[in-house]
Structure 1
Amino acid sequence: MTPLVIEEYVVSRRDSGPYAITTGPDNALWFTMVHRGRIGRLIPRQEPTIHQLDADSGPTVICNGPDGALWFTEYRAHRIGRITPVGRITEFAPPTAECGPFGIAAGPDGALWFTETAADRIGRITVDGTVTEYPLPRAGAFPSAIAAAGDAMWFTMNQANAIGRIGMDGRVTVHDLPTEAAAPVGIAVGPDGSVWFTEIAAGQIGRLAPDGRITEYPLPDRSARPHAVTTDANGRPWFTEWGANRVGSIDTDGTVTVHALPTPASEPHGITMGPDGALWAALETGVLARITSTRSLA
């Protein structure tokens, strides 16, 4: 097993809940603090910058937009937010009230696409704030994370036990999972077009190949609660084990390797490739973890 070097950067109090993380257009790390209604920015080895939202807004997923800003969901406030690198914040309310936006990602069409967990819809918001909503073909699906690939968006349907695809025309295709009640959450698309996703209730990582075949990789600890997933520059998927305090990866032969985080019970959530070529994970206990290996991640 290739050893990892894990450095921890304290960015908030333990009750702030760093949740999702991404690399911004300014080559800084941007992250949400779900329990305190804040957006954070970190350049490694500098003090973090914190931007305050409504305290109970519940910012969840954050991503780069096509307009040089960061876009994020406010799960509890039922809004979509935009923040510029200098901290100017704008917020937009989708047409459907109390829709529970969660996942968000930039699409190939120059808009942002997001999930509405409580409304069984996928939303699309342009950079000027115009929102279009697309209903899903299943009720109670709880669409969660979302990612872009080619000319479509892929998303997890947590309570429908499926992976969804929505084209730029709004047409939705559903791929049912082989394992019942797997509860997919995180999703990412690799450079080869493979769609990787976490099965939080089944303790597995799934792969939907470009030809539509689904393969599931059981984790060594099936109770690990895998949450978020990303891919490195080589296409290797990396994921967080929220319930087991670990990060892990899958090699091309399907071998799963997991690594314990240094601080017990740190509750890892989001994971992304950083501007420095390292992996970064958001730990709900107030820390960002920088993860490097003797084998290159980039």
Structure 2
Amino acid sequence: MSVTEITVAGPNDGPYGVAVAGGEVWTTLVHTGRLATASGRVFDLEAPMSRPSVVVAGPDDAVWFTRSGDHRVGRLGYDGTLSAIDVAGSPYGLCVGPDGALWCTLMDADAIARVTVDGSVTTYPIGVAGAFPAMITSFAGDLWFTLNQANAIGRMTLEGVVTTYPLPTESAGPVGICAGADAIWFVEILAGQAGRITAEGKIEEFPLPVDSKPHAVAPVAGGGCWITLWATGALVRLDASGNIVEEHALGKDSEPHGLALGLDGSVWVALENGALAQKA
């Protein structure tokens, strides 16, 4: 299947996160404080140092996104209305929880924040100093997140009770995470591996191409996942057993980061060279 690219920004603007929502494909321009769509719309946050990062489809006809540069969580309605909520601690990873609220990791605070659509913020410490929580997802009624510097996967109940699961590989540097059909997939950017953890805490690890620096991960229906390989400029698909069954080159210096799945089964990837890649 072919991969096509749509230029949405300049080569230094840095498309980073990507989400499919409201009939559009949205991406954050992390280096210039803007959001853009595959259809050509651009939204200026009027905060060039805000570093919009992870973006998700919200529960309220909007996309929500983290602004790690100015400690806020932003909202962009499908009608173009912009707003933001103060959330101290450098919010980064973001997901919609099983309770319908937005949940985000706070990199500098070693905490997880719950943000409601009406602007209420509650912060829960994870209890691990210097853990650098990164991406977050919802699975089995709880929140699951990578602890990049603590070399572990974290799990938090809606009441804020945390369990951590150390990774078998030392200094693996987990970053991306997503909920699959029956388990959670994650990637280890420093170890060059993918991982899978069940609701019972069983962890498996799978090798990826050497020095590929996997970054983001998204589930495949029926098992397996898609993974962006930041250092080698590629997109790979793993089957349910962790075997690489597809690989697509995205070009030299493309620097793929976030990825998202379309309702039609297509895969969208944010490329830091200024484009969105689509694998039909």
TM-score band w.r.t. shorter chain: over 0.9
Change (3 A) 1:166 1:251: same
Would you say the 8 A contact 1:28–1:275 is kept in 2?
Answer: no
The TM-score normalised by the length of structure 2 is: 0.97
**Alignment-derived partner of residue 201 in structure 2:** 212
Deviation at 1:262, TM superposition (A): 4.1
**Alignment-derived partner of residue 170 in structure 1:** 160
**Alignment-derived partner of residue 150 in structure 2:** 160
State how far apart, in whole Å, the 2-side matches of 1:262 and 1:42 are.
Answer: 17
Deviation at 1:257, TM superposition (A): 3.9
1:247-286 → structure 2 map (5 Å cutoff): 247-257=235-245, 259-286=247-274
State how far apart, in whole Å, the 2-side matches of 1:255 and 1:141 are.
Answer: 30
State how far apart, in whole Å, the 2-side matches of 1:231 and 1:117 are.
Answer: 24
State how far apart, in whole Å, the 2-side matches of 1:101 and 1:172 are.
Answer: 18
2:39 aligned with 1:52: no
The TM-score normalised by the length of structure 1 is: 0.91
2:92 aligned with 1:102: yes
State how far apart, in whole Å, the 2-side matches of 1:92 and 1:139 are.
Answer: 25
**Alignment-derived partner of residue 241 in structure 1:** 229
**Alignment-derived partner of residue 213 in structure 2:** 225
For each residue in 1:170-198, what CA deviation from the matched residue of structure 2 results, as whole angstroms up to 9, or x when unmatched? 11110100000001000001022x11101
* Partner SS, residue 206 of structure 2: strand
2:199 aligned with 1:202: no
Would you say the 8 A contact 1:104–1:145 is kept in 2?
Answer: yes
Q: Which runs of 5+ in 2 are unaligned?
A: none
Structure 1 runs of 4+ off > 4 angstroms? none
* Partner SS, residue 196 of structure 1: strand
State how far apart, in whole Å, the 2-side matches of 1:120 and 1:5 are.
Answer: 41
**Alignment-derived partner of residue 87 in structure 1:** 80
Give aligned-pair identity as a percent: 43
2:54 aligned with 1:66: no
1:10-21 → structure 2 map (5 Å cutoff): 10-21=7-18
State how far apart, in whole Å, the 1-side matches of 2:242 and 2:96 are.
Answer: 29
Residues paired across the two proteins, number: 279
For each residue in 1:54-79, what CA deviation from the matched residue of structure 2 results, as whole angstroms up to 9, or x when unmatched? 11110000011111211100011111
**Alignment-derived partner of residue 181 in structure 2:** 191
Counterpart pick for 1:129 among 116, 119, 134: 119
Deviation at 1:260, TM superposition (A): 4.0
State how far apart, in whole Å, the 1-side matches of 2:242 and 2:251 are.
Answer: 28
**Alignment-derived partner of residue 5 in structure 1:** 2
The one-letter code of the counterpart of 2:41 is: T
* Partner SS, residue 23 of structure 2: coil
Would you say the 8 A contact 1:20–1:269 is kept in 2?
Answer: yes
**Alignment-derived partner of residue 34 in structure 1:** 30
For each residue in 1:96-148, what CA deviation from the matched residue of structure 2 results, as whole angstroms up to 9, or x when unmatched? 3xx11100100011110000000101000011010000011110000000011
Q: Report the aligned-residue RMSD.
A: 1.2
State how far apart, in whole Å, the 2-side matches of 1:263 and 1:200 are.
Answer: 19
**Alignment-derived partner of residue 132 in structure 2:** 142
**Alignment-derived partner of residue 290 in structure 1:** 278
Q: Which runs of 5+ in 1 are unaligned?
A: 293-298
State how far apart, in whole Å, the 2-side matches of 1:265 and 1:258 are.
Answer: 20
